Amino acid sequence: MIAAVLFLVFAVLLFIGAPIAVCLGASSVIAMLMQGAGRPLDTVMSSLPMIVSSSTSKFVLLAIPFFIFAGNIMEKAGISGKLIALAESCVGHIRGGLAMVCVIVSCFFAAISGSGPATVAALGVIVVPAMIKSGYTPAFSAALMAAAGAIGVIIPPSITFVVYGSIADASIGQLFLSGLVPGLIMGAALLIVALIIGRKMNLKANSKASGAERWKAFKDAFWGLLMPVIILGGIYGGIFTPTEAAAVSVIYGLFVGIFIYKQIHIKEFYQILIDTASTTATVMFITAAASLFAYVLTRARLDVAISSGLESMTGGSVIVFFIIVNIILLIAGCFLDSTSALYIFTPLFVPVAQALGVDLIHLGVVMIVNLAIGLFTPPVGVNLYVACGGGNVNLKQISKAVISLILAAIIVLLIVTYIPKISLLFI
């Protein structure tokens, strides 16, 4: 009965367009009230503040606001434009070179922002119009930017990996390392699709940059390129933890933005603080609501029932288990954001994975790649909505153009899923 109420209220709220945090939180509270019917209200709801507090006060989650802060700093510092200029000087003279710029710069910026939508927002306003000018259609240009931006949640440092690691009690450092190769493969797959489609179009190529121009572009972008090296090098060198690395990235970003690029002043810094606080509040609101949802599942013993059901369905087969995981997450990714999906499904999948002997790092990569695809899958793919503005296209147009990119990403997902060594190569 409680399960029916929980999922029915959640579905109704989602259908009417309520924010996902409200869907999760409201359905959980109503289910708790139903479960505690007949008891005093303060007794029934006394656990709510403790659940919310414990879910949002984990030390590892401090990395989220710091990485968001660092990403906003580097965006305001103009690093996105410098990275684009560097990539364009290297490959802009090739037919379809601007598609290559889109994907390559997305991979670099992903290692700075750690967020898919942030990558699209920072790069889309520059890259998408340039791709349209070179001959790509507006719809495909925006679609490629949306898909390339999703690499931001796979390539380290990734906010989504921090969330998964906090739920599954997995090493954040190992998760970061495990996302590198799958992220690069995803970028290569998108690039191949873009070049194949580009061969059918009358594309224009820029004039080839001279060695001096490339060197100048490299010098301009050097300090931005150094940021992921410092973050990841510090983590894997044992100098600091992922959370400490996030704080270091903020200090480094401020130094570069204020003293080297000289793009950040009081006005820009104030806006950076506002944007960081707003994004962090959104993520933490979702985290709190999703934790409450997971708590109700646990109290109703639904997590055990679902996990047991999954284990029996797999029949002890890892292949079948991952087929189920991929189908569930690909569908869920169409409607849920990454944080919500992780809080709902991670507690269900982890016990089954452990029973089958699946490495939790590998499971995390598979889940994150699934949810990355969800970022550019209609109807709720966040990246699609962000990219629509850059290409001046509507959701219907971009949804048609993104189909080939989704298919390429699913092929990458299957490779990552069934060849664990790709994820565990450096671990």
- DSSP-H helix ranges across 300-359: 302-314, 318-332, 338-356
In whole angstroms, what is the distance from residue 124 CA to residue 126 CA? 5
Look at residue 332 in the predicted model and tell me its pLDDT. Answer: 85
pLDDT attached to residue 253: 87
Which of 412, 405, 331, 416 is CA-nearest to residue 146? 405
**What is the predicted pLDDT for the residue at 129?**
85
3-state SS assignment for residue 112: helix
**Looking up tokens 């259908």, which residue turns up?**
15
Residues in the chain: 427
Smallest CA-to-CA distance from 213 within 103, 129, 88, 99 is with 88
Q: What confidence score (pLDDT) does residue 239 get? A: 87
* pLDDT at residue 410 in the model: 96
**Largest pairwise CA distance in the chain:** 78
Q: Give me the average pLDDT of each 10-residue run along the chain (427 residues).
A: 80 84 88 75 75 81 85 81 84 80 83 72 81 86 90 86 90 90 93 85 77 90 85 83 86 89 86 88 86 81 76 87 93 82 89 92 96 87 80 85 94 95 87
- What pLDDT does residue 331 have? 87
Find where tokens 């690909």 sit: 330
Q: pTM for the whole thing?
A: 0.85
User: In the prediction, which pLDDT does 264 show?
Assistant: 87
Do residues 28 and 295 lie in contact, with contact meaning Cβ atoms separated by under 8 Å?
A: yes
- Residue 37: predicted pLDDT: 63
Tokens 């994907």 -> residue: 103
CA pair distance 368, 282, nearest whole angstrom: 19
Tokens representing 4 are 């029916």
